[in-house]
Amino acid sequence: MKNIIKFLLIGLSLSAVNIYALAQGNEDGTLSQQKISKIIHKTIDALEHHYLFPEKARLATKVLTYHLLSGEFYQTSQPAELAEKLRVLLRQSTGDNYFDVIEHNSRLAIDQQTNKEQSNGLQFRTLQAEILSGNIGYLKFERYYSLGVAKRDVDNAFHYLSDVQAMIIDLRTVDRGALPLAQYLSSFFVEPGTNLSDIAYQQQTKMTPLLAIEHNDYARFRQNFPVYILNSAFVAGAWEFFSYTLKHFDKAVIVGEQTIGFGYLTKPIKVSEYFTISMPCALTQHPVTHANWEQFGVTPDFNVDAGASFDVAYKLAKSYLNQD
């Protein structure tokens, strides 16, 4: 069932991308041969310098080079057709279904509205924060945002929730995540300088530690503070990192469904003005488990349907605080 969900997610992600905005080499929106050549060469460069698996990168480079020199890439001038061909070749040559084609602004667009106060909390541009009955904080993330885009909202949300007695963090409808944002969030709940994970990048002979960041004025969140993370079967990547990290430091209780199991961290690499190619760039290893969630996902402490997870977590929080 998990494999079916995984491939459905990949398919849905690809179908949502508007490939037609890929590039404009000519006035009619088609691609010139010069533009196509530039895209392929930038893709090859990205494979050689960023793709996690060097041997597979060399195989993909040979395939792309052959299709470029033989003129097969020039048989189409349509952006959508080129993008589909490139996606298929990358996946076939590497056997890696983590490759994706992403329109630059489809998931990074920012709602320009200002933060709005609501009767039950604050609605920020990138997240929702609320104080529930019983002085229990509720923080909900949706869509995709980088740390650069979300940092101010995260800081404001944690300031707003600074006096709560417990916190529920809702990840059930998140989009793909960014590791720096997951690192930043994890750091609210562990001591500064804690090794959150050992990370291996391409061609590294040893792991690089990813350390917790200093957050001033939030020491109480690091001292036996009750945190409940809501997951669904579609939570993936860096958001799995966040859940897995806090779970295995005994800093959070996971409620909901087992996550999808995308254990490789991906990076979007710009290969043209209009699109990026997302590829695995790093492998993580938790300092406690000496493993990660690849293929298996993050196992919940309370395995319930995602739709029921909020009620379960809220009840757990109230019980912990003796508010039953």
289's CB contacts (< 8 A; 6+ apart) are 248
How does pLDDT run across 59-111, given as a tens digit for each residue? Answer: 999 999 999 999 999 998 887 788 889 999 999 999 998 898 775 544 333 33
Residue with the bigger pLDDT between 96 and 124: it is 96
CB-based contact 63:89 (threshold 8 Å) = yes
283's CB contacts (< 8 A; 6+ apart) are 52, 199, 200, 263, 264, 265, 292
Residue with the bigger pLDDT between 324 and 303: it is 303
**Amino acid occupying residue 50:** H
Mean pLDDT calculated for residue range 175-201:
92
Task: Write down the mean pLDDT value for the chain.
Answer: 85
CB-based contact 124:156 (threshold 8 Å) = yes
Angle (CA) 13-145-139 rounded to 5° is 105
The b-or-e profile of 157-194 (16+ CB within 10 A means b, else e) is bbebbeebbbbbbbbbebbbbbbbbbbbbbbbbbeeeb
If pLDDT is split at 50, 70 and 90, which confidence band does 177 have?
confident
What is the CATH class of 116-261+296-320?
Answer: alpha beta
If pLDDT is split at 50, 70 and 90, which confidence band does 22 have?
very low
How does pLDDT run across 193-247, given as a tens digit for each residue? Answer: 999 999 988 766 678 999 999 998 899 999 999 999 999 999 998 999 999 999 9
- Whether 141 has a pLDDT exceeding 80, the answer reads yes
Mean pLDDT calculated for residue range 185-190:
97
The b-or-e profile of 90-112 (16+ CB within 10 A means b, else e) is bbebbebebbbbbbbeebeeeee
- Domain range list for the chain: 2-103, 116-261+296-320
CA distance 64 to 41: 9
Give the pairing of strands 208-211 and 302-303.
Answer: unpaired
